[in-house]
Structure 1
């Protein structure tokens, strides 16, 4: 895996966009969506709606992933 961000395509509420995420964050984000029984686009749209204008979508996804990892039982 690479530590460099790569662009990943998403469709949010019918609009195509992309986010630049490191592979590690992207793989974990996809795993979380799968565990929740949700589509990646659906989860990304929810994060997008709650992030406000001061935070980019990629940053909001990273924080979401970090929060989810921290909440896992050890």
Structure 2
């Protein structure tokens, strides 16, 4: 397991950073690519949809988990 690493993102022309483990960062990049989006665009969408009580890094991790769970369910249908 890797420790979280700070990664830079730009959300609505504002620089911010999130701390994510390598596995989540790689999965996040793969999802963005599969959706034909840049990581900043996908991060902005996740940011806009999250609860204010949920941090951006947590929201990204949950998005990645939900994405792969949905893909697994679709694959088992």
Normalised by the length of structure 1, the TM-score is: 0.94
Gapped regions of structure 1 (runs ≥ 5): none
**Which residue of 1 is the match for residue 64 of structure 2?**
65
**Which residue of 2 is the match for residue 52 of structure 1?**
51
Which is helix-richer, 1 or 2?
Answer: 2
Gapped regions of structure 2 (runs ≥ 5): none
**For this pair of structures, how many residues does the alignment match?**
73
CA–CA distance in structure 2, aligned partners of residues 52 and 67 of structure 1: 16
CA–CA distance in structure 1, aligned partners of residues 69 and 52 of structure 2: 25
Shift of 1:52: 1.9
| C-alpha RMSD of the superposition | 0.9
CA–CA distance in structure 1, aligned partners of residues 70 and 29 of structure 2: 17
4+ residue runs over 2 A deviation: none
Deviations for 1:40-73, whole angstroms, at most 9, x for unmatched residues? 0000000001112100000000000000111112
Normalised by the length of structure 2, the TM-score is: 0.91
